[in-house]
Amino acid sequence: MVAEVKELHQSNTQIERMQRIFAAQKAAFRQHPYPSAEQRIELINRLRPIMANHADDWVQAINEDFTNRAADETRLAEILITLEGLKYTTRKLRKWMKPSKRSVSALSWPGKTWVEYQPLGVVGVIVPWNYPIQLAVVPIITALAAGNRVMVKMSEATPNAGALLEKLVAESFPEDQVAIFNGEVEVGQAFSQLPFDHLMFTGSTAVGRHIMRAAADNLTPVTLELGGKSPCIIGQDFPMRDACERIAFGKCLNSGQTCVAPDYILCPENRVQEFVEAWKAQVAQSYPTMLDNPDFTAIVNGRQQQRLLGYLKDAREKGAEVIEINPANEDFSNSQKIPHTLVLNVTDDMQIAKDEIFGPLMIVVPYKTLDDAIEYVNDRPRPLALYYFDWNSENCSRVLKQTHSGGVCLNDTISHVGVDDIPFGGVGDSGMGAYHGPEGFKTFSKAKGIYKKGKFNATRFILPPYGRGMHKLIEKHMIK
């Protein structure tokens, strides 16, 4: 009871702080509604030492949150990718800020028109637990590039990473520019109800629906980076060993706890056993042991672990073939780790077939023809990512044109997320809107269309009372 009262008090304190800082950021934005490129770049560059100078601190904090997170995965997927995004953004920012020239039709002549990209105001960012630093700092970079103030709600599942980011940001930014918030579910709910000028959420589709409902009360525009079951199609003639090596990069990273990790394999039916053997060999090569291997990332907490184990139990009971890859025959019963596991003979009534897996389990689905594989994908909600392995360019073109997904990798997995110059975002159940690249800058900006007329006023010839001038104008353009 005492603990519950203390937690409630902490949540109320955070909510009060949140509301106060939101008001302060709104007021500060009114005073400085259009920061220069130099001012924006200076703010963004304050994040560089936060990332680069505290690499070991980030590794330790996230490792404690996960009980074990591979240090090099943190350095690559959290720190390096973020620093590359920072470098790219500061290099491109002046170009993005330039007004975009547009043309006028004869009806608008004489005049000129253009589009200016105006900061929105205060942007809210809700961060998931799987990559807590990258998925907090990259949106901060993008929102600052667009000239905004930023408030960030970290996940309650990664309290150490959240506390470190809150501390380091407070040392580098005034709270009316960038502010970080931690806390339990109640704090997150209150955060999503604030009347932000834009709200970005990264997380599950189910929670994304709640976020959108909360934002709707304020008519707050949202960017939803969700997930879904990202398919991986292996072409009939693609070398299986190469496919498994490339798929493993996307599936094994962070033990599959990645929104764009391959969720299920569509494999030619005559090559399923070949895939199983090649996948077992690839995983065993990467992780000859797992239990005490620091390179093998654990599941973030007991709740997520039980969810994944529940999928396996349900699948077994309903007739699936479950193949656990455990090269050293280790006992994981007292660990927060789960070995990589393939699940075959899956049916649609199994929970693993319905939910995004988000862990080291992977479904294998046989297909007869490429058309069958495409139909299988299209029968399901549109995923955040799709992967296709084939050296045949005509087949690649068919898959690209006949499927929908947030993004695509051909002959690789998840690498598109690290390409700063292309948008990243979902479609349908996997989300809406995009960030990264110039599209991210535009997401957090108002594209304001402007028309300017000169001294000569041609509209005087078509003012009421309507007569010959108006009739000639209409007839001329109707005929064309």
Which residues are marked as active site? 225, 259
Question: Is the peptide bond between 195 and the residue preceding it cis, with omega within 30 degrees of 0?
Answer: no
The CA distance from 353 to 347, in Å, is: 7
Instruction: Tell me the residue type at 136.
Output: A
* Token pair in block for residue 143: 């929102």
Please name the residues in contact with 63: beta carbons below 8 A apart, sequence gap of 6 or more.
69, 71, 74
b/e 219-231 (16+ beta carbons within 10 angstroms → b): ebbbbbbbbbbbb
Q: What is the chain's length?
A: 480
DSSP state of 297: P
As a whole number of angstroms, the distance between CA 34 and CA 441 comes to: 14
Please say whether the beta carbons of 237 and 271 come within 8 A: no
Q: Residue 370 has which token pair?
A: 């490429």
Q: Helical H runs in 130-196?
A: 134-145, 159-172, 185-192
User: How far apart (Å, rounded) are the C-alpha atoms in residues 312 and 318?
Assistant: 10
Beta bridge partners of 241: none
Task: Give the residue among 354, 261, 325, 256 at the shortest CA–CA distance from 297.
Answer: 256
Q: How far apart are CA 71 and CA 57, in angstroms?
A: 11
List Cβ neighbours of 249 (8 Å cut-off, separation of 6 or more).
412, 413, 414, 415
Please give the Cα distance from 344 to 362 (Å, whole number): 9
Contacts of 176 (CB under 8 A, 6+ apart): 21, 24, 25, 27, 28, 149
